[in-house]
Amino acid sequence: MTVASPTTLYDKVFNDHVIDTMEDGTCLIYIDRHLVHEVTSPQAFEGLRNANRSVRRPDLTLSTVDHNIPTSSRKEFKNVSSFVKQPDSKVQCETLEDNIKAFGLTYFGLGDKRQGIVHVIGPEQGFTLPGTTVVCGDSHTSTHGAFGALAFGIGTSEVEHVLATQTLLQKKSKNLRISVNGTLPVGVQSKDVILHIIGVIGTAGGTGHVIEFAGPVIESLSIDARMSICNMSIEAGARAGMIAPDQITFDYLKGRPLAPKGADWEKAEKYWKSLRSDPGAKYDKEVVINGSDIIPTVTWGTTPQDVVQITGKVPDPASYSDLAQRAGVERSLEYMGLTPNTPINEISIDKVFIGSCTNSRIEDLRSVAQVVKGRKVASHVYAMIVPGSGLIKKQAEDEGLASIFTEAGFDWREAGCSMCLGMNEDQLKPYERCASTSNRNFEGRQGFKGRTHLMSPAMAAAAAIKGKLADVREFIPVESALVLQFETKDSKSYIFPFAQTDYPTAGVAAESDDGPQAGMPPFTVLKGTAAPMPMTNIDTDKIIPKQFLKTIKRTGLGTALFYELRYHADGTPDPEFVLNKPQYQKSSILIAGANFGCGSSREHAPWALNDFGIRCIIAPSFADIFENNTTKNGMLPITLPQQTVDILCKDAEQGLELEVDLPNQVIRRSDGDEISFKIESFRKHCLVNGLDDIGLTMQKKKLIASFESHRSANYPWLDGQKYQKVPIAVGGGSNTDW
């Protein structure tokens, strides 16, 4: 008898979803839950239409509008066409609603109290369940991993793939366990924990891995707090973050509208209890963090790894011996307008943003109320609170939190992404400094030239009151150091989320294809000029800033590529930027720095590069989602060791041409030297032959259908028929319910 070897949580969930495995290990996996929003879906629906395809499982898809919408009062709301004023945003919202109607999907529109940020509404409704695969055209899909789901962001081509087939092609990631041991000091929230972790492992620390967060501190956290942690796994470069489901998870889910009921619940709970890593399971990497080392933390720079404790100082570039690192710090400090060695708690702020899919849930708001109750926002500060969903807004109003906020001088808004990325009107003005509970402090993220400091909700609340970055521990009364309670209007009491507690320490032959295949241009041999761009951590916000995500087309983005680096504030090209130099204006190859394409899942980044003419990017490492997105567009990402990339970068600086030969897997330098590179065989096959993934997957329809019948028989709660019949609430109307 063979004994199954100990398995990790990630491996269990992944293995349970494999429909088919190719020779090189690429798997076709089933997707249980698909969330859709207005920004990353238009081109996917257009693709379905062009190929005459339908949505395979409308019952497993839930959609909403969140990124583009105003957060102003909806009292006068009639429909998106009259309510959303910005023309491109309006078109995206209207396009989503047209697609919802045409493809028969479930949708929470602006007239529906359940509307909100896509990563808030899924869990809130019980749509997100333990052991499921959850995807969305959005990098922060990792949030849903807090339930023990395998949840990750995908690009728009993959959105189309999921809509058409309810499956995805995936390579298995590696396992990374991050254990947070001990206890958390008073004043430390789960946001501090994840900022601390990213400070330790870096923004590429999780690349190629799925993180399992474990240990006594994680186990003690509420679901809201766990979601903030998994949410930012992507900021650590990970494919996903997961936490084993436990009683806290089950208690959270019980009674949610879409959670299983009755006998299904019993069966589901039994299965969910098996979803934990077996003792002795092997991890490719392990990191251990001591919870008591964490104190309230903020970011000082322009990547989420630039963290500092609130008692610390702005770093001094002079203290970095590595010249590249020193230059990076200097550049960030210049952008952030900070002087080395300034005490962090002396940095004055202009705005406060409390919201985003990281920190806009009810517990976040309760912690803010705890700090600001009876106090006033500093007179020079504008502070806004944007709840994550209409239901959270209502709950906060019912609990009396909203009146505490407004009495303190906060602007209390309607649900949406808001100033997390400023695709709507909520933005920073140039050089404004913001204390923000969001997840990205990239250049220009919250507004052109805006300056973002990431922190916990309680810390942002303290900053609002003091008018500068502040230590929330000054606001916590000594007598409440153990368990902080918050009295609400309805006289229920809630545990303050940062209270200190004592914690116990085979592949099958293709079937006939009955659908049209779209196809991409084949990639074989590419000869051309390479542009050198060795900066590390180029994020997709830098490759294509938010204002260009409002298109509903895949083309025409080339002129906007690297917009903020490439153009001066008045819109004229900066002659110093590499792609503006005459010798690089026709480059077809980009030689880039490590962790290229990190951050958001926007496929607009490869679309913009492609439109400019770049077909191949060579770098020491890529962010997972970006790398996937390039290949779906017939582009080739090549990973090589840093020293080899440095050699190619020197060639590029001299204007020498390179020849990239994919069939033979070599790069030929102009002196005849050949550098070989690796690529997965399935990926190579698709690129060389210009094959469209969806067409290939459609050939496996029978396998998918047989997987689905097995799934319905064994996991009956995963079929969404309970809500399939709900009328689609598009446009007006209010208080819609299941």
Ligand X SMILES: CC(C)[C@H](C(=O)O)[C@@H](O)C(=O)O
Task: Please report, as ranges, the residues that interact with ligand SF4 according to CB under 6 A.
Answer: 66-67, 117, 119, 138, 140, 356-357, 417, 420-421, 438-439
Q: Does residue 140 interact with ligand X by CB under 6 A?
A: yes
Cα–Cα distance, 633 to 319 (Å, whole number)? 43
Smallest distance from ligand X to CB 150, Å: 17
Kindly state the tokens that stand for 659: 């020849």
Q: What is the DSSP string of 451-475?
A: EEEE--HHHHHHHHHHTB---GGGG
Smallest distance from ligand X to CB 421, Å: 5
Q: Does residue 601 interact with ligand X by CB under 6 A?
A: yes
* Residue from 139, 167, 228, 551 binding ligand X (CB under 6 A): 139
Closest CA to 717 of 139, 257, 121: 257
Strand partners, 666: 661, 676
Smallest distance from ligand X to CB 173, Å: 18
Q: Does residue 39 interact with ligand X by CB under 6 A?
A: yes
Task: Find the part of the chain contacting ligand X (CB under 6 A) among 135-143, 628-636, 664-672, 677-685.
Answer: 135-143
Closest CA to 465 of 385, 396, 371: 371
Cβ closest to ligand X, residue 9 vs residue 39? 39
Q: Which does 446 bind (CB under 5 to 8 A by kind): ligand X, ligand SF4, none?
A: none
* Residue from 92, 600, 610, 697 binding ligand X (CB under 6 A): 600
Cβ closest to ligand SF4, residue 35 vs residue 667? 35
Cβ closest to ligand X, residue 399 vs residue 541? 541
Q: Does residue 443 interact with ligand X by CB under 6 A?
A: no
Cβ closest to ligand X, residue 466 vs residue 542? 542
**Alpha-carbon torsion, ordered 608, 613, 615, 616, to 10 deg:** -90
Q: Does residue 542 interact with ligand X by CB under 6 A?
A: no
Q: Which does 48 bind (CB under 5 to 8 A by kind): ligand SF4, ligand X, none?
A: none
Cβ closest to ligand X, residue 40 vs residue 587? 40
Helix, strand, coil % over all residues of the chain, rounded to 5:
35, 20, 45
Cβ closest to ligand X, residue 252 vs residue 563? 563
Q: Does residue 209 interact with ligand X by CB under 6 A?
A: no
Cβ closest to ligand X, residue 151 vs residue 421? 421
Cβ closest to ligand SF4, residue 217 vs residue 428? 428
**Alpha-carbon torsion, ordered 37, 43, 47, 49, to 10 deg:** 70
Q: What is the DSSP string of 538-576?
A: -BHHHHS-GGGTT-SSSSS-GGGTTHHHHB-TTS-B-TT
Within 350-409, the residues that bind ligand X by CB under 6 A are none
CB 175 within 8 Å of CB 11: yes
Cβ closest to ligand SF4, residue 304 vs residue 534? 304
Q: How far are the Cα atoms of 68, 188, 224, 296, 415 from residue 456, in angstroms, in the given order? A: 24, 8, 13, 8, 19
Q: Which does 356 bind (CB under 5 to 8 A by kind): ligand X, ligand SF4, none?
A: ligand SF4
Q: Does residue 230 interact with ligand X by CB under 6 A?
A: no
Smallest distance from ligand X to CB 390, Å: 19
Q: Closest residue to ligand X, Cβ-based? A: 600
Amino acid found at 143 = T
Cβ closest to ligand SF4, residue 358 vs residue 633? 358
Q: Does residue 422 interact with ligand X by CB under 6 A?
A: no
Q: Does residue 119 interact with ligand X by CB under 6 A?
A: no
* Residue from 421, 543, 619, 687 binding ligand X (CB under 6 A): 421
Within 512-541, the residues that bind ligand X by CB under 6 A are none
Cα–Cα distance, 197 to 191 (Å, whole number)? 10
Number of C-alpha atoms within 13 angstroms, CB side, residue 668? Answer: 12
C-beta atoms surrounding 69 within 10 Å: 29
Smallest distance from ligand SF4 to CB 141, Å: 9
CB 333 within 8 Å of CB 340: yes
Smallest distance from ligand X to CB 139, Å: 4
Smallest distance from ligand X to CB 424, Å: 12
Compute φ and ψ for 434, nearest 5 degrees.
Answer: -125, 135
Q: Does residue 306 interact with ligand X by CB under 6 A?
A: no
Q: What is the DSSP string of 228-278?
A: HHHHGGGGGTBSEEE----HHHHHHHTT-TTS--HHHHHHHHHHHHT-SPP
Cβ closest to ligand SF4, residue 329 vs residue 362? 362
Q: Does residue 241 interact with ligand X by CB under 6 A?
A: no
Closest CA to 472 of 485, 486, 458: 458
* Residue from 7, 8, 26, 40 binding ligand X (CB under 6 A): 40
Length of the chain: 738
Closest CA to 137 of 688, 727, 601: 601
With a CB cutoff of 8 Å and minimum separation 6, the contacts of 434 are 349, 350, 351, 352, 353, 419, 428, 446, 450, 451, 452, 453
Cβ closest to ligand X, residue 310 vs residue 625? 625
With a CB cutoff of 8 Å and minimum separation 6, the contacts of 508 are 20, 700, 703
Kindly state the tokens that stand for 528: 């051309």
**Alpha-carbon torsion, ordered 284, 172, 206, 438, to 10 deg:** -150
Smallest distance from ligand SF4 to CB 422, Å: 9
Smallest distance from ligand X to CB 387, Å: 17
Amino acid found at 662 = L
Q: Does residue 138 interact with ligand X by CB under 6 A?
A: yes
Q: Which does 549 bind (CB under 5 to 8 A by kind): ligand X, ligand SF4, none?
A: ligand X
* Residue from 17, 33, 57, 67 binding ligand X (CB under 6 A): 67
Smallest distance from ligand SF4 to CB 416, Å: 8
* Residue from 240, 419, 549, 687 binding ligand X (CB under 6 A): 549
Tokens 């997961």 correspond to 242
Q: Which residues bind ligand X (CB under 6 A)?
A: 39-40, 67, 138-140, 153, 421, 549, 600-602
